[in-house]
Amino acid sequence: MKTLHKLATSVCALSLVAACSKEPSAEPMSEAQKKDQQMQRVTIVSDAQPGQTIPAFNTYSFVDKVNVVIDDPRIDTKQVQQEVRDAIALVMQAKGYSYEPKSENADLVMGFLFSLESGLADADLTRLFGMSAGVVGIGSEGRYEKATLVLGVMSPNTEQLLWKSMVQGFADFEKPKQDKTGRADAVVGKMLENLPQAGQ
């Protein structure tokens, strides 16, 4: 197992379902300030620098069987799946990659798994992926729950995982939906920021 590369990030909330409570501010925040606030108290780890383990490629695809959201009655699994896909696509487009609808024709497949702690405990994550972000759960009477997102770059047949990254934070089930806009983009963008440009 390669040494885990811990990224010191600042995310106040784990994107997709939400995160920690937001402190009131006397002055309106700029978009950059909002993004910075979204990146606190979240830990991101990866198993390698992506450029070291991923061959040069230009096209990618998604496959349902490796785009997994663990069921929970408090979240809309289809919506979360689409939000993660959209966030990945935003990064891939910015780096020059093209989306290929037919996975068999793509160079690589982008896989992911999202779960609350009640759906998949840290011990299970370690067994499945060989890594743990090490975020400790908190008692919150049901408002918050630790949540994990794992991203992976896979071979076209999804048999080989070439690179993976994990982020853990806290889902906030009382935060208004409109306050969660853009969190998936911020977190996924941070996880994939070291992905090489297309063709490199």
H/E run at residue 32:
helix 31-38
Side-chain-side CA neighbours of residue 116 (13 Å) = 21
Q: Does domain 5-191 have CATH number 3.30.160?
A: yes
Map tokens 């090490």 to a residue. 134
Interval 61-78: pLDDT, tens: 999 999 999 999 999 999
Residue 1, pLDDT score: 43
| Confidence at residue 137, expressed as pLDDT on a 0 to 100 scale | 63
Q: What is the mean pLDDT of the chain?
A: 80
Q: What is the pLDDT of residue 26?
A: 46
Angle at 196 (CA atoms; ends 97, 193), nearest 5 degrees:
95
Higher per-residue pLDDT: 183 or 97: 97
pTM: 0.78
H or E element that contains 153 = strand 144-154
CB atoms < 10 A from the CB of 43, how many? 18
Cα dist from 124 to 71, 81, 118, 137, whole Å: 16, 21, 11, 15
Residue 7 has pLDDT above 60, yes or no: no
Per residue in 78-91, is it b (16+ CB within 10 Å) or e — as a string?
eebbebbbebbbeb
Would you say residue 56 has pLDDT above 70?
yes
- Per-residue CA distances from 39 to 13, 62, 123, 163, 171 (Å): 7, 26, 25, 22, 13
Q: Which of 81-95, 116-130, 153-167, 175-189 shows the lowest mean pLDDT across its residues?
A: 175-189
Quote the pLDDT of residue 38.
45
Residue 163: count of CB within 10 angstroms of its CB: 21
Supply angle C-alpha 44, 46, 51, rounded to 5.
125
Longest CA–CA separation in the chain, Å: 52
The domain spans of the chain are 5-191
132-187 pLDDT per residue, tens: 777 766 655 667 888 999 999 999 999 999 999 999 988 888 876 655 557 889 99
